[in-house]
Amino acid sequence: MDNVMEGMLETYLFETNDLLDRLDEMLVADEKEGEMSTDDVNEIFRIMHTIKGSSAMMEFTSISVIAHKMEDLFFFIRDKGIDSLDATEKRDLFNLLFRSEDNLRSEISKVENGEPLEENVDALSKIIVDFLSQLSSGVKKPAESASEADAAPSGAEAAEASGSEAPAPSNVDLVNAQLSGLPNDKDASTFIHIFLEEGVGMENLRAFMIVNAVKECEIDFRFYPEDMEHNSDCTQQIIDNGFFMAFNTPEDSKKALSVLQSQGHIRSYEVQDAVSAAEPPAPAPAPAPAAPAAPAEKEQAAPSAPAEAAAPSAAAASKAPAKKAAPVKQSLISVNLQKLDSLMDLVGEIVITESMVTSSPVLKMLPQESFDTFNKSARQLRKLTDDLQDISMSLRMVPISGIFQKMNRIVRDMKQKLNKDVRLTIIGEETEVDKTIIDSIQDPIMHIVRNSMDHGIEETKEERLSAGKDPQGELILSASHTSSEVVISISDDGYGMDSEKLLDKAESKGILTKPRSAYTPKEALGLILLPGFSTNQTVTEYSGRGVGMDVVKKNVESVGGAVKIDSELGKGTTITLKIPLTMAIVDGMKVTVGKSIFTIPIANISQSFKVNRDEIILDETGHEMIERMGDFYPVIRLNRFYNIPSDYNDEDIEEGIFIWVEAGDKSCVLYADDLIGEQQVVVKPLPVYFNDYDLKNVGISGCTILGDGNISIILDVAGIHSAAIDNA
């Protein structure tokens, strides 16, 4: 696939997925209300029309066919009004829409994965056509109207709606050849000449979407080239010369201008008074010099007609100065994620280089005055670097609403299949998270929501009423920010979890790692995160296969997050995910162990302190413990853990430094030789050849380059705790 086609495919996938997301959100909201507004009907019609056209251009037939059938259906509904459907028909319409959306998403997924598309979509097509026939019983073939409208989506469509007949040019090639002048439209009094932004892709379809937006306002006009929707050959003409809208009256063109102001991807537009292209050109006193090569000159089939039309066009331009509108710019653009990754890498290198420059030992050799001047410039550089870093990081931040809204659909489908009455409450959907992290936590959240719906919420209303609860169950999705992480919680008001039953299950599967009596209720809840653990007695479509929660834990920890579970029997369960805001640049605390320097993320540090030897106690297994704020925590000596020679003997414990760290619900105290200080560090992945050593499981998450050029290992607190305590 060449670069052009690859770029078009990326644009197609991005925009089609965005349209389907908008459709899904709209359908879930409308179904809750039990009603669909006229605006939503029009929007669904436009969505299907756009997907149909872009898919046809990309030659994705199965997608185009289904979108076309749905477009026909909504052409009829738009024409007759949504109120013409009774309650049963509306319910069937929603079910059909969801089914069609699922089909389109499935086909889009195949495109993304390079899989062949479905060749036969007759079954779903027939269901849509049959439903349309059912709605149109007794009405004169509305489905044919939709087909006719689709077959001729040109200026004739707008003219037919207004009762006038749009003149068709006698030579379509002539119109296409004259795009640099005015189209041959005898009835037009005014033209609007529109240019699209450079490099937007699929220009013919984008132009047609703008035309459609103007059509929706019931404005009488024609557009050129007329076949822009179906003829991808028009794309280069539109790129080079723009496209035209032709209006019978100046009033219509003024109405259209107000619509164009709100449209995206328009670079500029120009209002021009019309001069009939059919009029003979005025005699010239001398032959005009040859014009530069233009599309008209390349048309050898009709050499005289283009010349005749070009003269009056030029005359019109000279007689009446064009009314040029200010460019209309879009406030949002889509950017390839790889470019953002490259930007983040560059910012990271700037941060490292700045640190290397400001910590260079050569600076100490400068005279005091020069050193002060350097420091002043360095502080300004640091401020600019921080601002650049903040902006570049914010570019990758996207609201979590995209994931939360998708859960609406999951809850809706499971309500129907499980016959449970559950409402989904969403809090904090505007919370922003790094794009790469968003992609990693979508599946975990989906697993948890499905588990809550399947066997978290009670089976029947009677069961809930007997427990003194509202007959309608509630599932709450919430997100909030702290200084360094995003906290996402999924709560239900269902059964809750019984720690004794969890221990029974774990014991029967042989996955307990210590005596049953040694497990606290909180530790018993954590058992559901182990591979192969499931409390469901039967396998369902959604859960009970022994997979899910261990995948949740693995995915969340892969982005540096942690999973916490709270549950009260008979009251419900809350699962909390703590996710770092970003993984690219973090604030770290540098500590030394012997001649090695480690970096601990500041977000994991609760406290650092020194102790006397008599403050260290031993548990029953001989492990060192220390008391902080009323609780005892295990001590992990980093020199022993990583087998590194320390600057101090084991007896010189007062000389070292203790760092109390937390990761989710895991806490411990690390012992190091010395504390160097805080520094913002760029997280670098370890070389690929280290993958065989599974360093993540021994508490190493990555590395960073220090100001003096040395490498510092970044510690993963959860990994250290698991290796030193959980698996000891």
Average pLDDT, rounded, for the chain: 78
Q: Are 189 and 198 in contact (CB under 8 A)?
A: no
Q: Are 150 and 72 in contact (CB under 8 A)?
A: yes
Residue 252 has pLDDT above 70, yes or no: yes
Average pLDDT over residues 90-103: 90
Q: Cα 352–353–354 angle (5° rounding)?
A: 90
d(CA 113, CA 103): 15
Grade residue 672 by pLDDT with cuts at 50, 70 and 90: very high
Grade residue 152 by pLDDT with cuts at 50, 70 and 90: very low
Residue 224: exposure state from Cβ atoms within 10 A (0-12, 13-18, ≥19): buried
Of 37-46, 67-76, 263-272, 494-503, where does mean pLDDT reach its minimum?
263-272
Residue 639 has pLDDT above 80, yes or no: yes
Residues ≥6 apart with Cβ < 8 Å to 223? 154, 155, 207, 211, 243, 244, 245, 246
**471: preceding bond cis by omega (within 30 degrees):** no
Amino acid letter at 193? H
Residue 399 has pLDDT above 60, yes or no: yes
Of 288-292, 377-381, 457-461, where does mean pLDDT reach its minimum?
288-292
Alpha helices in 642-724 (DSSP H): 717-721
Residue 609: enclosing H or E segment and its boundaries? strand 605-609
Residue 14 has pLDDT above 90, yes or no: no
**pLDDT at residue 582 in the model:** 65
Task: Pick the more confident residue, 596 or 11.
Answer: 596
pLDDT digits (tens, 9 = 90+) for 306-351: 333 433 333 444 334 444 444 444 456 667 778 888 888 888 788 8
**pLDDT at residue 172 in the model:** 39
Q: Where are the beta strands (DSSP E) in 408-466?
A: 422-427, 432-434
**pLDDT at residue 636 in the model:** 93
Average pLDDT over residues 160-185: 46
**pLDDT at residue 149 in the model:** 38
Grade residue 490 by pLDDT with cuts at 50, 70 and 90: very high
Amino acid letter at 556? V
Residue 292 has pLDDT above 70, yes or no: no
Residue 176 has pLDDT above 70, yes or no: no
**pLDDT at residue 298 in the model:** 35
Q: Are 526 and 497 in contact (CB under 8 A)?
A: no
Q: Are 272 and 193 in contact (CB under 8 A)?
A: yes
**pLDDT at residue 146 in the model:** 37
d(CA 395, CA 670): 35
Residue 154 has pLDDT above 50, yes or no: no
Of 28-42, 282-296, 432-446, where does mean pLDDT reach its minimum?
282-296
Grade residue 483 by pLDDT with cuts at 50, 70 and 90: low
In percent, how much of the chain has pLDDT > 90? 13
Which pair of tokens denotes residue 210?
Answer: 């703008």
In percent, how much of the chain has pLDDT > 70? 81
Q: Are 207 and 196 in contact (CB under 8 A)?
A: yes
- Distance (Å) of CA 625 to CA 513, 655, 715: 20, 18, 21
d(CA 194, CA 204): 12
Which pair of tokens denotes residue 463?
Answer: 């069961």
**pLDDT at residue 718 in the model:** 80
**pLDDT at residue 575 in the model:** 92
- Distance (Å) of CA 248 to CA 191, 242, 274, 389: 9, 20, 10, 54
Task: Pick the more confident residue, 396 or 239.
Answer: 239
**pLDDT at residue 491 in the model:** 94
pLDDT digits (tens, 9 = 90+) for 623-637: 899 998 888 999 999
**pLDDT at residue 592 in the model:** 93
**pLDDT at residue 333 in the model:** 67
Which pair of tokens denotes residue 217?
Answer: 């306002």
Q: Are 243 and 207 in contact (CB under 8 A)?
A: yes
Average pLDDT over residues 709-725: 85
**pLDDT at residue 473 in the model:** 92
Residues ≥6 apart with Cβ < 8 Å to 532? 509, 511, 546, 547, 550
pLDDT digits (tens, 9 = 90+) for 419-476: 899 999 999 988 888 887 887 888 888 889 988 898 889 988 999 999 899 999 999 9
* Bridge pairing between strands 562-568 and 624-628: unpaired
**pLDDT at residue 306 in the model:** 37
Q: What is the number of helices (H) and of strands (E) in the chain?
A: 23, 23
Grade residue 555 by pLDDT with cuts at 50, 70 and 90: confident
d(CA 596, CA 715): 12
Average pLDDT over residues 289-305: 38
**pLDDT at residue 17 in the model:** 87
Residue 283 has pLDDT above 50, yes or no: no
Question: For residue 588, which of 703, 726, 456 has the smallest C-alpha distance?
Answer: 703
Residue 633: exposure state from Cβ atoms within 10 A (0-12, 13-18, ≥19): buried
Residue 6: CB atoms within 10 A of its CB come to: 10
Average pLDDT over residues 692-698: 76
Average pLDDT over residues 658-668: 86
Which pair of tokens denotes residue 58?
Answer: 């990309």
Average pLDDT over residues 656-669: 87
Residues ≥6 apart with Cβ < 8 Å to 87? 34
Mapping DSSP to helix (H, G, I), strand (E, B) and coil, where does residue 692 land? helix
Total count of residues recorded for the chain? 728
Question: For residue 310, which of 326, 286, 294, 322 has the smallest C-alpha distance?
Answer: 294
Residue 543 has pLDDT above 60, yes or no: no
Task: Please indicate, yes or no, whether the overall pTM of this predicted structure exceeds 0.85.
Answer: no
**pLDDT at residue 148 in the model:** 39
**pLDDT at residue 621 in the model:** 81
Average pLDDT over residues 574-589: 80
What does DSSP assign to residue 407? H
Question: For residue 616, which of 669, 665, 546, 666 has the smallest C-alpha distance?
Answer: 669
Grade residue 299 by pLDDT with cuts at 50, 70 and 90: very low
Task: Pick the more confident residue, 385 or 544.
Answer: 385
**pLDDT at residue 219 in the model:** 86
